[in-house]
Amino acid sequence: MPDSFLSEYQPFREEIREFVAEKLPDDMKERTRQGFHPTKEDMRRWTAILHERGWSAPGWPREYGGAGWSPLKRMVFEIEMANAEAPGLSPFGLHLIGPVIYTFGSEEQKARYLPAILDGSQFWCQGYSEPNSGSDLASLRTTAVSDGEHYVVNGQKIWTSEAQYADMMFCLVRTDSSGSNQGGISMLLIDMNSPGVTVRPIITQDMSHYVNEVFLEDVKVPVENLVGEENHGWQYSKFLLANERTASAYLPQSKRDLRRLRELLGQLREGDDYLTHDATLDLEVARTEIDLAAHEMMVYRIIEGAYRIDPNAAASMIKARGAGLQQRISSLWVEALGPHALPLFGSGTHESGGYGLDLSPGAMSQYLIRRAVSIYGGTNEIQYNIIAKRGLNL
Ligand SMILES: Cc1cc2nc3c(=O)[nH]c(=O)nc-3n(C[C@H](O)[C@H](O)[C@H](O)COP(=O)(O)OP(=O)(O)OC[C@H]3O[C@@H](n4cnc5c(N)ncnc54)[C@H](O)[C@@H]3O)c2cc1C
């Protein structure tokens, strides 16, 4: 069904396939196929190659250097990219802060940051969560006090993905403690090389270095790095989170991973030296295929505006359902491979996160890290609360 629904995009798909066949470097393609996390250099290089074609920011308006495609066309593009084993791009500049800057930022911020995000030369991270403020984000306690020229920032962020790569952080800070929690939050753009910024790695159970703690001690941030208006940061952060949750559908990757699992099961049967290819597994794979097709249709209907539903509730539906499917698919991989899924040879670096036999690249690594999909960007329970309140008016 979804494929016929997208048939009008066939020429566009061919165009993407030709482009990727010509431009995607073999080493990058092989690393992605093997399940390794893209290196910083992979992300920088691939963003620059896409930018030359005008494709690094498919959803941004043309006036800001994007491709200006509809959400549906963008999804077709991303499905083709995943199928071609192109590495994922760093989302923090392109998907998250870029749209905030061109929607709410000053002209100076647009001129200064958007070109460097588009060509991959500048990396960003997201400074939202704090040790005691995750789901209850509005309770955050990092403070920013203005002396007229600068904000002086003090506090701690945690789980900051890719902070070790980042040149800049978009950061939620408290600029007013007198009223409601939400009403006293501002968004600052902080140079990660500023004195007083310390990044400390957290190694996750897949032995990768992806997340960090970030300490901010008397960090001076020029007042022109405030996004929009002071104490309006909550509004910008909600806009950004809706984008983050929609991107977390991970539909292209789930389609690719499930298709690959089918291929793997075929290979295992021919080789007959693997343990797990029984009827129960087949049934579960078939069920997951059906659920993924249903999810895909829901994503298309939402992005095409076919449902009359609050956009935040819609983003939460996509996020919660997409996270569950990602986790199921990675579990099925491990189940199918039995003991062959076990190898995990991490050396504690972000780049070394994928492994295993040639048949099972990255299976265990993916299984472990995908437990986090229902946590980051807001846990599933928080998504269900949003759906209940904003979607069902409960
Ligand atoms: C791999 C990874 C990458 C991340 N990257 C980033 C990043 O780049 N930047 C960033 O700012 N943050 C990042 N995060 C943090 C993430 O956003 C938080 O972990 C998440 O919001 C949950 O917050 P918490 O960990 O404090 O858990 P808590 O908020 O303490 O939640 C604990 C449990 O209680 C449940 N719970 C809490 N409140 C409610 C409620 N009202 N109703 C029902 N259940 C509730 C939650 O669902 C959860 O199960 C990342 C997290 C991970 C795991």
3-state DSSP of 61-94:
CHHHCCCCCCHHHHHHHHHHHHHCCCCCCCHHHH
Predicted pLDDT at 269: 67
Q: State the closest ligand 1 atom to the C-alpha of 372, by its place in the atom list counted from 1.
A: 53
Q: How many whole angstroms separate alpha carbon 73 and alpha carbon 20?
A: 17
**What pLDDT, on a 0 to 100 scale, did the predictor assign at position 182?**
95
- Reduced to 3 states (helix: H, G, I; strand: E, B; else coil), residue 137 is helix
Distance 79 CA to ligand 1 centre (A): 28
Predicted confidence (pLDDT) at residue 350 exceeds the cutoff of 70: no
Tell me whether residue 355 is exposed, middle or buried, using C-beta atoms within 10 angstroms of its C-beta: 0 to 12, 13 to 18, 19 or more: buried
SS3 per residue for 240-278: HHHHHHHHCCCHHHHHHHHHHHHHHHHHHHHHCCCCCCC
CA distance 276 to 278: 6
pLDDT of residue 331: 95
Domain of 211, CATH number, reads: 2.40.110.10
Residues 368 and 286 in one domain: yes
Partnered with residue 212 across adjacent β-strands are 201
- Which residue among 64, 89, 114 closes a domain? 89
Tell the residue number behind the tokens 């897949």, with chain if given. Answer: 206
Q: Are residues 9 and 133 in the same domain?
A: no
Supply the pLDDT for residue 18: 98
| 113 domain-assigned | no
The mean per-residue pLDDT over the stretch 344-369 comes to 59
Spatial distance between the Cα atoms of 336 and 320, rounded to a whole number of angstroms: 25
In this predicted structure, the answer to whether residue 345 has a pLDDT above a threshold of 60 is: no
Same domain, 267 and 206: no
Mean pLDDT of the chain: 89
Same domain, 130 and 29: no
Residue 206 confidence (pLDDT): 84
**Confidence at 352, pLDDT banded by 50, 70, 90:** very low
219 and 254 part of one domain: no
pLDDT band at residue 347 under the 50/70/90 scheme: very low
- pLDDT of amino acid 242: 75
Which whole number is the average pLDDT over 234-252? 81
Whether 304 has a pLDDT exceeding 90, the answer reads no
How far CA 140 is from CA of 88, 222, 312, in Å, comes to 30, 21, 21
Query: 355 and 266 in one domain?
Result: yes
Structural domain contains residue 110: no
Is 244 an active-site residue? yes
Question: Both 212 and 334 in a single domain?
Answer: no
Domain assignment of residue 305, yes or no:
yes
| pLDDT in the model for residue 365 | 84
* Contact assessment for residue 205 and residue 162, using Cβ atoms and an 8 Å cutoff: no
Give residue 2's pLDDT: 59
Q: How confident is the model at residue 324 (pLDDT cuts 50, 70, 90)?
A: very high
Whether residues 359 and 385 fall in one domain: yes
The fraction of the chain above a pLDDT of 90, given in percent, is 71
Residue 334 CA to ligand 1 center (angstroms) comes to: 26
Does some domain include residue 119?
no
Structurally, how many domains does the chain consist of?
3
Q: What does the DSSP 8-state code read for residue 232?
A: -
Residue 116 located in a structural domain: no
Q: What is the C-alpha to C-alpha distance for residues 358 and 300, in angstroms, rounded to an integer?
A: 34
Res. 261: pLDDT tops 80: yes
- Asked if the model's pLDDT at residue 355 lies above 50, the reply is no
Are 360 and 274 in the same domain? yes
The verdict on residue 115 lying in a domain is no
DSSP single-letter state for residue 172 = E
pLDDT at 174: 98
Q: What is the pLDDT of residues 33-70, one digit of tens each?
A: 877 788 899 999 999 999 999 999 999 999 999 999 98
Total Cβ atoms within 10 A of residue 280 = 9
The span from the CA of 124 to the CA of 169, in Å, is: 5
Please report the sign of the dihedral spanned by the C-alpha atoms of residue 34, residue 38, residue 41, residue 46. Answer: positive
pLDDT beyond 90 at 358: no
User: Does one domain contain both 298 and 371?
Assistant: yes
- Asked if residue 96 is part of any domain, the answer here is no
pLDDT score of 241: 80
Q: Which of 36-40, 53-57, 281-285, 320-324 has the lowest mean pLDDT?
A: 36-40
What integer pLDDT is reported at residue 356 of this predicted model? 43
Counting residues of the chain whose pLDDT is more than 70, the rounded percentage is 91
Predicted pLDDT of residue 307: 82
Task: Based on the fold, state whether residues 285 and 377 are members of the same structural domain.
Answer: yes
- 384 alpha carbon to ligand 1 midpoint, in Å? 14
Average pLDDT over residues 75-101: 94
Tell me the angle at which helices 26-33 and 40-52 cross, rounded to the nearest 10 degrees: 120
Binding pocket residue ranges, ligand 1, CB within 6 Å: 125-129, 134-135, 159-161, 211, 372, 375-376, 378-379, 381-382, 385
In this structure, is residue 210 part of a structural domain? yes
Give the residue from 29, 62, 89 where a domain finishes.
89
Domain boundaries, position 15: 2-89
pLDDT bucket at 119, cuts 50 / 70 / 90: very high
Give residue 93's pLDDT. 97
The reported pLDDT for the residue numbered 337 is 81
Which CATH number does the domain housing residue 374 bear? 1.20.140.10
Ligand 1 atom showing the smallest separation from residue 128 Cα? 11
The pLDDT score that the predictor gives to residue 308 is 84
Q: Which of 80, 162, 244, 296 is catalytic?
A: 244
Q: Is the domain of 186 the same as that of 256?
A: no
Contact yes or no for 177/188 (Cβ under 8 A): no
